[in-house]
């Protein structure tokens, strides 16, 4: 069965950098980094297109923690994603967040330009991070190229 948010063989250079940063945070034999090791300021030229999402379980919910100024029209930090309308570049974000937690690995959402979606294309990468004995946060990046 094909994963609905599978990471393609080829990503943009900026998303490759974010994924390499995430991998560089790994400790020892860990499969994913700890959320408290991530510092968005470590990628200063990309910080406007990065975001962090807090992950809650029982019930599963996702809350914007930090959102770069280049991807949010209005302030959404601190808001649960199911409490707000998610427009570009956050379409299908709740589904992708759930898939990232279930996959326990990176996921990608690609919004292409076609007749049904006249908006400019973008690609969104989500990377899980460990905390409190479970996936506690997701690191996200958006590329508009």
Domains located in the chain, CATH noted: 1-7+48-145 (3.30.450.20)
3-state secondary structure of 108: strand
Residue 24 has pLDDT above 50, yes or no: yes
What pTM value is reported for the model? 0.92
Q: Considering the chain, what percentage of its residues have pLDDT values greater than 70?
A: 94
Residue 32 has pLDDT above 90, yes or no: yes
Instruction: Specify whether the CB–CB gap between 54 and 65 falls below 8 A.
Output: yes
Report angle CA 30, 133, 36 to the nearest 5 degrees: 70
Instruction: Specify whether the CB–CB gap between 35 and 130 falls below 8 A.
Output: yes
3-state secondary structure of 87: coil
Instruction: Specify whether the CB–CB gap between 62 and 78 falls below 8 A.
Output: no
Residue with tokens 């937690």: 101
Instruction: Give CA–CA dist 131/6, Å, rounded.
Output: 24
Residue 116 has pLDDT above 90, yes or no: no
78: left (phi > 0), else alpha (psi -120 to 50), else beta? left
Residue 117 has pLDDT above 70, yes or no: no
Residue 65 has pLDDT above 60, yes or no: yes
């Amino acid at each position: 069965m094909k994963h609905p948010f599978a990471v393609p063989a080829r990503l943009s250079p900026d998303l490759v950098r974010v994924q390499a940063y995430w991998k560089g945070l790994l400790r020892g034999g860990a499969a994913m980094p700890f959320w408290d090791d991530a510092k968005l300021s470590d990628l200063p030229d990309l910080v406007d297109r990065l975001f962090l999402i807090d992950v809650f379980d029982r019930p599963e919910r996702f809350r914007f923690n930090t959102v770069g100024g280049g991807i949010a029209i209005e302030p959404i930090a601190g808001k649960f994603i199911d409490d707000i309308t998610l427009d570009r570049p956050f379409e299908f974000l709740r589904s992708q967040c759930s898939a990232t937690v279930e996959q326990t690995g990176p996921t990608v959402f690609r919004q292409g330009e076609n007749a049904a979606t006249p908006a400019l294309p973008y690609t969104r990468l989500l990377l899980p991070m460990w905390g409190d004995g479970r996936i506690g946060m997701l690191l996200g990046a958006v590329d508009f190229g």
